[in-house]
């Protein structure tokens, strides 16, 4: 008998060792699969081979309708983890059939990424007052996020040696340990240079020595959570309208990077490479934003647009 808990541990080990999944991904999978094993236990299933397609569908329904219902996106993520578990169990010969393969996730609302205008990005970055070591670091952080389109975790995880000032590039370590080299604009390089010369030595003296590019107030590597707090603080101090501030997320500057590139005429496949997307389909959501912009310009500029 293969208990669901035992198979989950084997599956997480497989993801960590053989697939090289990031720790954040593994934590999310552990949480979602923990919910799943608890649900199976409530049904009396102590052997994964006893699970049927109706049980997996019931789990999805329970996530959406329970005492603390999950959003469609969170439910879809949990189902993805469950489907991966059952697929692994079949491939490993633990169960004879994949009972989760045909279970469909809940439909997701069609939402376009929230992107600020160029002027709003300038105003957001100006919310960082570069008059202290942490202020200089915060300005460098936001400039790098917008200049490279990197995820917050990628910039927080960057080391000094990843930045090539001469080539004006930075090496980013993305999901699944995939690496990519991305250009860095001159304003971002200037902000980083100011931080490296006037701030990082002060911060580094408080720590025990780390190759990290961005340091926290104790001289250690800046965490993803701390970087997100910096973005939120800059948004609050920027003077942007409250509805804009409320919509700002960890991916806001990444969305702005992609949208502004495409609006400026960049090829979608180039943007795909810069963002580190495995599929161009993921990047193409940003083309909807630029099409909307083109439609607005057409409607106001063409003499027969509204005829």
Mean pLDDT calculated for residue range 249-265: 90
Q: Is the pLDDT of residue 306 over 70?
A: no
Instruction: Report pLDDT for 121.
Output: 96
* CATH number, domain 4-91: 1.10.150.130
The CATH 1.10.150.130 portion of the chain extends over 4-91
Average pLDDT over the chain, rounded to an integer: 90
pLDDT bin (cut points 50, 70, 90) of residue 290 is low
Alpha-carbon gap, residue 89 to 97, rounded angstroms: 9
Mean pLDDT of 274-298: 74
User: What is the Cα–Cα distance from 35 to 94, expressed in whole angstroms?
Assistant: 21
State phi, psi for 179 to the nearest 5 degrees: -110, 150
Q: Using the predicted structure, report yes or no on whether residue 307 has a pLDDT greater than 60.
A: no
Q: What is the average pLDDT across 245-258?
A: 91
CB atoms under 10 Å from CB of 106, counted, come to: 17
- Cβ burial 283-298 (10 Å sphere, 16+ → b, else e): beebeebbeeeeeeee
pLDDT of residue 279: 80
Closest CA to 153 of 18, 17, 22, 15: 22
For the segment 73-130, what is each residue's pLDDT rounded down to a tens digit?
889 999 999 999 999 999 999 999 999 999 988 876 655 567 899 999 999 999 888 8
What pLDDT is attached to residue 41? 96
Q: Which of 83, 81, 88, 76 is nearest to 99 (CA)?
A: 83
**Token pair of 100, please?**
């989760």
CB atoms within 10 A of CB 191: 24
| Token pair of 78 as six digits | 């949990």
Q: Is the pLDDT of residue 191 over 90?
A: yes
The pLDDT of 209-222, averaged and rounded, is 96
Averaged pLDDT, 15-36: 90
Helical axes 118-126 vs 224-237, angle rounded to 10°: 100
Q: Give the 3-state secondary structure of residue 36.
A: helix
Q: Name which of 132, 254, 146 is nearest 194 in CA terms.
A: 132
Q: Write out pLDDT tens, residues 123-154.
A: 999 988 888 999 999 999 999 999 999 999 99
**Residue 253 — very low, low, confident or very high, per pLDDT cuts 50/70/90?**
very high
Known catalytic residues are 151, 175, 251, 254, 277, 286
How big is the CA angle at 24 (ends 20 and 26), to the nearest 5 degrees?
A: 55
Give the pLDDT of residue 139. Answer: 97
22 — pLDDT class (breaks 50, 70, 90): confident
8 Å CB contact between 184 and 163: yes
pLDDT mean over 189-207:
96
Report the percent of the chain where pLDDT is more than 70: 93
CATH code for 118-246?
1.10.443.10
224 burial class (0-12, 13-18, 19+ CB within 10 angstroms)?
A: middle
Cα–Cα distance measured from residue 59 to residue 18, given in angstroms and rounded to the nearest whole number = 28
Strand partners, 215: 221
* pLDDT(289) > 90: no
pLDDT of residue 110: 55
What pLDDT shows up at residue 90?
Answer: 95
**All CATH 1.10.443.10 domain ranges in the chain, comma separated:** 118-246
Q: Do the strands 179-183 and 163-164 form a parallel or antiparallel pair, or are they unpaired?
A: unpaired
């Amino acid at each position: 008998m293969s208990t669901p808990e035992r198979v989950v541990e084997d599956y997480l080990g497989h993801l960590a060792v053989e697939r090289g999944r990031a720790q954040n991904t593994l934590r999310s999978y552990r949480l979602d699969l923990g919910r799943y094993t608890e649900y199976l236990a409530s049904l009396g299933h102590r052997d994964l081979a006893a699970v049927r397609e109706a049980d997996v569908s019931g789990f999805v329904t329970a996530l959406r309708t329970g005492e603390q219902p999950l959003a469609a996106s969170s439910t879809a993520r949990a189902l993805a983890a469950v489907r991966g578990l059952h697929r692994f169990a079949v491939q490993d010969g633990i169960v004879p059939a994949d009972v989760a393969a045909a279970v469909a996730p809940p439909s997701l609302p069609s939402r376009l990424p929230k992107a600020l205008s160029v002027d709003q990005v300038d105003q957001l970055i100006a919310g960082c007052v570069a008059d202290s070591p942490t202020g200089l670091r915060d300005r460098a952080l936001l400039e790098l996020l917008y200049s490279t389109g990197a995820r917050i975790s990628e910039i927080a995880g960057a080391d000094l040696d990843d930045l090539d000032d001469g080539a004006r590039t930075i090496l980013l370590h993305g999901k699944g340990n995939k690496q990519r080299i991305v250009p860095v604009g001159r304003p971002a390089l200037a902000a980083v240079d100011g931080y490296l010369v006037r701030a990082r030595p002060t911060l580094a003296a408080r720590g025990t020595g780390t190759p990290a590019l961005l340091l926290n107030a104790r001289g250690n590597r800046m965490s993803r959570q701390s970087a997100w707090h910096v973005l939120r603080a800059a948004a609050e101090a920027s003077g942007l309208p409250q509805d804009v501030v409320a919509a700002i997320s960890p991916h806001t500057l990444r969305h702005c990077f992609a949208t502004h590139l495409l609006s400026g005429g960049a090829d979608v496949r180039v943007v795909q490479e810069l963002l580190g997307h495995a599929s161009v389909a993921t990047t193409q959501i940003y083309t909807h934003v630029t099409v909307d912009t083109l439609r607005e310009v057409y409607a106001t500029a063409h003499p027969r647009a509204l005829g």
